[in-house]
């Protein structure tokens, strides 16, 4: 076995030849792969090795000898400490090219698919302050309450007063909460000891500026809740809803199953295109509203509806894509296993006066065959699965219903590539993929893929 050519703590000069899936630079020393966070393609740099494994090493930039013309100064002063963003050091047009290449690499290397048209990434008109949802952990440092993102690769909280990708109102929520918790002496959660009360602060902002706060607690009791609400209302004039979510388990899941309204409205409203939506504390809703509209318009374009089609929307959530599709289809069935999401979806359909959308609670693998047996044969299937993608049984269920087209919305190019390969075996050829930059300044990319049934 060939000896590893680098040693921990040693310094080397390296040329960066590509970028990894998380935006890190990739180069080689004596044909041995080295990953370097914050390095850019075509840069020549000096690095210090920080981690050595059997097949790769990780290095830290010590000196940039030749900088990429795409390198920019990050807007956020906490960027190199915080783990929330990965690409702030890269000019935005270049970020879009990197994300397209990320999709190409996944499709070709993981999915083993060739000759699929992958469009240029649809960029955001405003790549800052776009997130309508904030989830920040709460902790203490030297007896001072801190709220912010975790440091990259750890659970150390980086106290953050102004996150540049958050809606400004969410920053106001975090700052107001920090002040109030400190002032009232509310106990905060200690992850190591599993003690204390406040774990996370969740903020949601609607298009009209109305905002919701969810106080996530490790205990069922929240001491001085009335005083907390009074002070929050004084500091946040647009606050319309305050909830407590109880998360007692010792794990990394942010929200638990029990949510109680403490004050105000049960939901806030947001909109996508001509449609309005009720958003409850645990509802899924795209965090970048403007880019979500572009994403859904593309999904609707790929569905190519004329008004006569039956459509099934698997993993429909609160019905956002379903109701977009219903504007052009004869009938749309939305399927979702999470009951509260379906209740929101039905309310959203009523509020938007949409009568040709029907929502069904259950697992798509059970619901879809049942619909098929009832004589419901979809012309188009739309799927927007979790990050892990679809299980083979779900994909086989889609194919067995023999739709003309499958429109696959994905937040993970790797799982999309894997599922595209399986659908190809099941008789569905991918015609094109449209990457959409839902999360500027981060390494994440959303995609919409169009697949058509192969004519035999």
pLDDT at residue 2, rounded to an integer:
75
C-alpha span between 88 and 98 (Å, rounded) = 13
Exposure string over 318-349, b if 16+ CB within 10 A, otherwise e: bbbbbbbbbbbbebbbbbbebeebbbbbbbbb
pLDDT value at residue 364: 87
**How confident is the model over 252-277, as pLDDT tens digits?**
999 999 999 999 999 998 999 899 98
247 — phi, psi (to 5°)? -130, 95
pLDDT of residue 341: 85
Residue tagged active-site, from 163, 316, 390, 411: 411
pLDDT score at 280: 87
pLDDT beneath 70: ranges in the chain: 1, 456
Q: What is the pLDDT of residue 15?
A: 98
Q: pTM for the whole thing? A: 0.93
Dist CA 164 CA 131 (whole Å): 9
Structure confidence at residue 456 (pLDDT): 65
Number of Cβ atoms within 10 Å of the Cβ of 255: 17
Q: What is the predicted pLDDT for the residue at 1?
A: 63
Distances (CA, A) of 194 to 40, 187, 244, 257: 40, 12, 19, 18
Is residue 76 annotated as part of the catalytic site, yes or no?
Answer: no
Q: Measured between alpha carbons, how far is 107 from 224 in angstroms, rounded to an integer?
A: 53
171 closest CA partner among 216, 132, 139:
132
Using N-to-C axis directions, what is the helix angle for 225-235 and 168-184, rounded to 10°? 140
Domains belonging to the chain, first-starting first, are 11-66 (2.40.50.140), 99-125+288-453 (3.40.50.150), 133-272 (2.40.50.1070)
**What are 237's two structure tokens?**
């004039």
What is residue 278's predicted lDDT score, i.e. its pLDDT? Answer: 84
Contact 103, 21 (CB under 8 A): no
Q: Could you give phi then psi for residue 64, rounded to 5 degrees?
A: -95, 115
The overall average pLDDT reported for the chain is 95
């Amino acid at each position: 076995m060939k000896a590893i050519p680098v040693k921990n703590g040693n310094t080397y000069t390296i040329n960066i030849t590509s970028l990894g899936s998380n935006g890190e630079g990739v180069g080689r020393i004596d044909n041995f792969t080295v990953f370097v966070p914050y390095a850019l393609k075509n840069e020549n740099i000096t690095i210090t090795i920080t981690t050595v494994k059997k097949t790769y090493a990780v290095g830290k930039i010590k000196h940039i000898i030749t900088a990429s013309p795409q390198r920019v100064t990050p807007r956020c002063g906490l960027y190199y400490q915080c783990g929330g963003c990965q690409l702030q050091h890269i000019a935005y047009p270049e970020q879009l090219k990197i994300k397209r290449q990320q999709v190409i690499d996944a499709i070709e290397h993981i999915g083993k698919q060739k000759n699929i048209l992958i469009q240029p990434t649809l960029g955001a008109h405003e790549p800052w302050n776009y997130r309508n949802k904030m989830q920040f952990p709460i902790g203490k440092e030297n007896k001072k309450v801190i709220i912010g993102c975790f440091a990259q690769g750890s659970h150390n909280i980086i106290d953050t007063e102004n996150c540049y990708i958050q809606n400004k109102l969410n920053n106001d929520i975090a700052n107001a909460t920090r002040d109030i918790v400190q002032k009232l002496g509310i106990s905060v959660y200690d992850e190591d000891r599993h003690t204390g009360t406040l774990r996370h602060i969740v903020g949601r902002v609607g298009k009209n500026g109305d905002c919701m706060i969810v106080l996530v607690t490790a205990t069922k009791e929240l001491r001085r809740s009335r005083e907390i609400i009074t002070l929050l209302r004084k500091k946040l004039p647009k606050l319309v809803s305050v909830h407590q979510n109880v998360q007692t388990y010792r794990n990394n899941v942010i929200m638990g199953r029990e949510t109680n309204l403490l004050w105000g409205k049960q939901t806030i409203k947001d909109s996508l295109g001509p449609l309005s939506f009720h958003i409850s504390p645990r509802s899924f809703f795209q965090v970048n509203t403007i880019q979500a509209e572009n994403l859904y318009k593309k999904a609707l374009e790929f569905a190519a509806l004329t008004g006569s089609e039956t459509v099934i929307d698997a993993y429909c959530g609160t019905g956002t894509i379903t109701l977009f599709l219903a504007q052009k289809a004869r009938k749309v069935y939305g399927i979702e296993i999470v009951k509260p999401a379906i209740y929101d979806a039905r309310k959203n359909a009523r509020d938007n006066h949409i009568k040709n959308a029907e929502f069904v609670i259950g697992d798509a693998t059970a619901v879809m065959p049942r619909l098929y047996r009832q004589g419901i044969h979809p012309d188009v299937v739309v799927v927007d699965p979790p990050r892990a993608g679809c299980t083979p049984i779900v994909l086989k269920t889609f194919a067995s219903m023999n739709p003309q087209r499958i429109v696959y919305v994905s937040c993970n190019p790797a799982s999309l590539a894997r599922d595209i390969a399986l659908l190809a075996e099941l008789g569905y050829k991918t015609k094109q993929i449209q990457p959409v930059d839902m999360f500027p300044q981060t390494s994440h990319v959303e995609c919409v893929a169009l697949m058509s049934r192969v004519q035999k």
